[in-house]
Amino acid sequence: MKKVFIFPPNSLILADLVERFGHKPLMINNAIGDRVRDLEIDTPPLNITDEDPKKGLKYAAIEVPSGVRGRMSLIGPLIDEAEAAIVMIHAPIGFGCVGCERTNELTKYLIRRKEMPVLNVEYPENDEDAKIVVKKIALFLESLENKIEG
């Protein structure tokens, strides 16, 4: 089982495909869920600790808008943890958008920079294209199982 980062990082469709093939999807929904249920966080509705802004600085410079740093404090560690990634290109906002193009650009840059298997697929425009995308994802995820660890 590999840890697979998905982009957009809140796409339930990609997460479901990753899980169906026996891998662990790394997605922002889980990170946010952990934050919401963490008893240590006592600042609702912000759900941040004093350390969170510092974590964001690891991935984005101080000059970057605070919203980007905040998102990266959650997304960055997921990319660090990832052993592979699936990136859906040109996905519409309803597919799983973070809502910030700067965060999206930085996320894709960090994925490219990390040495790991990455599958880039174009968002399908029709049923036939969707079948092809699912097949590509399936083959990619199956290939991860066949890679020798070490």
Q: Look at residue 81 and tell me whether its pLDDT is greater than 70.
A: yes
**pLDDT 10s digits, 9-26:** 888 899 999 999 999 999
**Tokens 């991860």 map to which residue?**
144
pTM of the model: 0.86
| Amino acid letter, residue 47 | N
What CATH class does 3-146 carry?
alpha beta
Instruction: Report the chain's terminal Cα–Cα distance, integer Å.
Output: 14
Q: What is the pLDDT of residue 138?
A: 96
Residue in the structure block whose two tokens are 């399908």: 124
Token pair, residue 17, equals 């495909």
pLDDT of 150 over the 50 cut: no
